[in-house]
Structure 1
């Protein structure tokens, strides 16, 4: 049975992946093509308009879905007291930066088309798009890392039983002696 939490998680990852991927697509393909004169005014304006609109909707969806997951216990410790919490705080910061960069870069690009043409507008907005693409890649890296850590912790817990502790709060992990003692207690 699919839960609301699972749907929110899927939507969160899907929107984040599309937004980050589209940002990299704009930086890696659209801006260079426009800068080299391969895109006309209509095509560049249309593509940038769609990207700008999605870049306004995506942060709202990310906030709603991520907020729901946090409210349902996605982060069990205070955000800065665990590695996963720190990664979530890092992702929120990167999303804010990406939101600002993608919207500002889109506005600069569209505003620059009329006075200077497509090539000059693309050259002027290129740096902002390249930085936004770098932020998007960082987000994918951090987001992928936070999921890996959670699944690795779950794997260790399954492998070693409930007595296994993972040091995400700065505490020492369970020693072999503690693991043996816990195993003996669990066997009784």
Structure 2
């Protein structure tokens, strides 16, 4: 029982850190780069490396804790036949989408930075970062619905 509590707490904490990081970059860093606030690529490289590290570690931790939780709470049948199980499946799909969006957006941005450009790569990757921010918020909403057992409220 204590393993479920610790897994849930870790899962939600890591998800919140990941979502917050993605939202910060999408809503603050990339628009600032697009608007010419940065005069050099160095801080952007550092921020993108940090975001990718947070994203990769978070993806792994969420896979492990989420897999543990799903394995202890659900059967393969209940994952598709119950509302909470379907929310877990939805969360897994959103997790995959968020991981891909962060990797693609950061890679596009870094490619532009490698060409010693600042504004254009920020402008070109902004849509992907904003999409990642929306997906991260959707993930938190789904996690909240599962944690609150919202299925019983319907």
TM-score by length of 2: 0.90
Deviation at 1:116, TM superposition (A): 5.0
Greater RCO, CA 8 A, separation 6+: 2
1:91 and 1:143 in contact (8 A); partners too: yes
Stretches (4+) displaced over 3 A? none
Residue 3 of structure 2 corresponds to residue 4 of structure 1: yes
- Aligned residue pairs, count: 152
Bigger Rg, structure 1 or 2: 1
- CA deviations on 1:40-86 (whole Å, 9 max, x unpaired) are 3111110011001111121111010011112222x355211111001
Provide the TM-score with structure 1 as the length reference.
0.75
Structure 2: gaps spanning 5 or more residues: none
Partner Cα distance (1:90, 1:70) in 2: 13
Which residue matches 1:147? 147
| 1:78 matched residue in structure 2 | 78
RMSD: 1.9
- Measured in 2, the distance between the counterparts of 1:147 and 1:10 equals 10
Aligned with 1:117: secondary structure? coil
Structure 1 unaligned spans of 5+: 154-165, 168-188
1:103 aligns with 2:85: no
Counterpart contact for 2:11–2:61, Cα < 8 Å? yes
